[in-house]
Structure 1
Amino acid sequence: MRRTVFNEDHEAFRQTIRDFIASEVVPYYSEWEAQGYVPRDLYKKLGELGVFGIEVPEEYGGAGETSFKFSAVISEECARVGVSFGGSGVHTALCLPYLLKYANEEQKQRWLPSFVTGEMMTAIAMTEPGTGSDLAGMKTTAKLSEDGTHYVLNGAKTFITGGVQADRVLVCCRTSPVDPDDRRNGISILVVDTTSEGYAVGRTLDKLGLKTSDTAELSFTDVRVPVADLLGEEGKGFTYLTHNLPQERLGIALGAYAQAAAAVGFAQEYVSDRTVFGRSVASFQNTKFVLADCKSDVDAMQAVVDRALDALDADELTPADAASAKLFTTETAARVIDKCLQLHGGYGYMREYPIARLYADTRVTRIYGGTSEVMRSIIAKSMGL
């Protein structure tokens, strides 16, 4: 079926990204996986390419686009060859929406130009040891100084993607004590300079997949954060976090769909070239049926994400819609990629084959951005259950 969600501008951008990946990413990707992060130079190249400024208004050095579909193109093109741009997805898809919506004019002038060029990379720190999806249970605190000029930040965060290389981290913290009647109240977001005294990067976490994405533990010991670096209003942080969740979850859904589509492509190519018992693996009926099932699943995922993309651009994507898209695509992608790996036989278990990387990388999509169990709860609530 003809796909209508993208226009000529999106397709021209797709070719640009595809060429960039072929020349600047694929030849070095194994090396980046081994070291556990992409080089900082890649981020500057992405900045020069205009990737970080797509949705940033022109007055701050960006292109001023409002569509999320350009980000979808990037997800699809990276998955197509089994690579990623490290922590840059967090930089643009997670952090940027907060800066655009909640930063004041002075902050935008101060942060966005270097955000666009890649000179200032960002990350967001929500999760804490022992809290997981329960953001209202965070214990990191920021107390306003007596003279009202700065906050004193103390606490710890974990699973922070991009946390090793970030220059600014959007730290979610408590600026007032827990209210037993409303645990969500009193949470704020501070945009913390990572060179601040008392700010420390702990372990770089050894993950199952996403090997080029630096993920770290962070700690804060009496870190002084100027009040000028408070994002939005004090105490409104939880509301801010929930506002961006539909786009965040759609981004995860897009990635899962793209990975599944890529897996089918890798499997089809492999079984066509591989022979066993004197015949190509593709000639066996089981192979044909497995790939036919996978193709139909991918088609269904594509329909879901395309509809959700249109809804997001029209500002009509609800939290329940996004949860449904994420639940369906991530659970389905896991099954599809597993079947495609099986068709590779023993070679599918080798990381030199892209299917192995996809298998490992996609597992986290059912966890981050809200677990599948949380997605089911959101959907059920929207049904009045």
Structure 2
Amino acid sequence: MNHRLSDEHEQLRRTVAEFARDVIAPVIGDYYERHEFPYDIVREMGKLGLFGLPFPEEHGGMGGDYLALGLVLEELARVDSSVAITLEAGVSLGAMPIHLFGTQEQKAEWLPRLCSGEILGAFGLTEPDGGSDAGATRTTARLDEATNEWVINGSKCFITNSGTDITGLITVTAVTGTTPDGRKEISAIIVPAGTPGLTVAAPYSKVGWNASDTRELAFTDVRVPVRNLLGERGRGYAQFLRILDEGRIAIAALATGLAQGCVDESLKYARERKAFGRPIGANQAIQFKLADMEMRAHTARLAWRHAASKLVAGERFKKEAALAKLYSSETAVDNARDATQIHGGYGFMNEYAVARFWRDAKILEIGEGTSEIQRLLIARELGLADLNGAR
């Protein structure tokens, strides 16, 4: 693996780093404290083409790859995770299912507006009683042959980008029947925003990611045309497993950005803050803590880039994605804790970025598959699942 970025990738990284520093950093703290979605920032991200990065130009995208998306997410999260997760969910969960599994008509209808940032897409997977057991889906979709419509009933929770003023669609997983062996047949269906019967709850009161949109959804006899089926009927479970595998690389890049942001802020503070007549960075205890933080962020970066390189090359990447997501999310939590400690009492004050980083870090060990699920996936990839039936 060549760890050097191409000139094109490096230019993209620099451009987004400058955007994050000059446009996002000065204002995002106020959005965060007001729990307000940053529409103007999202609009500027759309103008930069960030929502269309990994999609083909024929559908309004930039013709880039998943490495480019990861670089952007890392640089955004280095300053703020609310903005980064808005992009990550909009691309990986909102537009990617349409790109991978949609018909030509569905792609033509949705992708240009998703790629431009004119609208956001959401992915309705998690349910109140489901959590990590995504196969326990209870939401149903019944085919009404008289009207040629799907009739959807059920609920989803923790859905990012599902209730903004620019949300355009929600892809919903639902039980559409029973397989020959008696299991649930799960399919994915596109539900346009504003469809009658779709109820979008008020935003959650969250610990972190306070400038992003996260809501619960209810479906009461929601009717959409049969053509809104995304991909093959009964393949919804397999489809969202692929979406999650790719999304874990994106979350790993985001977590790496948060971890590096903790290093950035702590280095600056260690040089400026004086105690006992000298900068606290002169103390070996602070130096060692920062060295460990940099080591973890660097290793996390190598992990997500390695997983992305395998994805871009068309190689199997499930284990590498799980490794990257597990390590980088735990690195984000560790670095946020250490950054807060370095800042002392100021680290507990919301005016400092590390307080925001600390609040944002923990969800990274939960969303897109918990740390426990990542360890399970890695163990399976090592062949240990075969031992369950051994005697």
Band the TM-score falls in, shorter-chain normalisation: over 0.9
SS at 2:122 equivalent = strand
Give the 3 Å change call, closer, same or farther, for CA 79–87 of structure 1 in structure 2.
closer
By how many angstroms is 1:180 displaced? 9.9
Q: Tell me the distance in 2 between the aligned counterparts of 1:112 and 1:153.
A: 24
SS at 2:26 equivalent = helix
Q: Is the 8 A contact 1:245 1:319 kept in 2?
A: no
| 2:199 matched residue in structure 1 | 200
Determine whether 1:73 maps to 2:71.
yes
Q: 1:219-258 alignment to 2 at 5 Å?
A: 219-258=218-257
TM-score, normalised to structure 2, is 0.92
Give CA deviations for 1:150-180 in whole Å, capped at 9, x if unaligned: 1111111100011111220011111114x69
Q: Alignment RMSD, CA only?
A: 1.9
By how many angstroms is 1:21 displaced? 2.8
Give CA deviations for 1:192-240 in whole Å, capped at 9, x if unaligned: 0111111111131111111111100000111111112111111110011
Q: 1:31-46 alignment to 2 at 5 Å?
A: 31-46=30-45
Larger mean CA deviation between 348-357 and 310-319 belongs to 310-319
Determine whether 1:109 maps to 2:108.
yes
Q: Tell me the distance in 1 between the aligned counterparts of 2:40 and 2:357.
A: 25
By how many angstroms is 1:311 displaced? 1.3
Q: Percent identity?
A: 36
Q: Is the 8 A contact 2:92 2:243 kept in 1?
A: no
Q: 1:175-324 alignment to 2 at 5 Å?
A: 175-177=176-178, 183=183, 185-324=184-323
- Residue 326 of structure 2 aligns to which amino acid in structure 1? L
Q: Tell me the distance in 2 between the aligned counterparts of 1:191 and 1:35.
A: 32
Q: Is the 8 A contact 2:53 2:61 kept in 1?
A: yes
Give CA deviations for 1:9-54 in whole Å, capped at 9, x if unaligned: 1122223223333443233312321332424343333222211222
SS at 2:145 equivalent = coil
- Residue 170 of structure 1 aligns to which amino acid in structure 2? T
Q: Return 5+ residue gaps in structure 2 as ranges.
A: 385-391
| 1:170 matched residue in structure 2 | 171
Give the aligned length: 380
Q: Tell me the distance in 2 between the aligned counterparts of 1:92 and 1:286.
A: 41
Q: Tell me the distance in 1 between the aligned counterparts of 2:15 and 2:327.
A: 30
Q: 1:341-360 alignment to 2 at 5 Å?
A: 341-360=340-359
Give the 3 Å change call, closer, same or farther, for CA 149–380 of structure 1 in structure 2.
same
TM-score, normalised to structure 1, is 0.93
Q: Tell me the distance in 2 between the aligned counterparts of 1:160 and 1:82.
A: 19
By how many angstroms is 1:119 displaced? 2.1
Q: Tell me the distance in 2 between the aligned counterparts of 1:22 and 1:96.
A: 27
Runs of 4+ in 1 over 4 A off after TM superposition: 179-182
Give the 3 Å change call, closer, same or farther, for CA 113–195 of structure 1 in structure 2.
same
SS at 1:87 equivalent = helix
Larger mean CA deviation between 96-105 and 78-87 belongs to 78-87
Give CA deviations for 1:323-364 in whole Å, capped at 9, x if unaligned: 122112212332222112101001111121111111111111
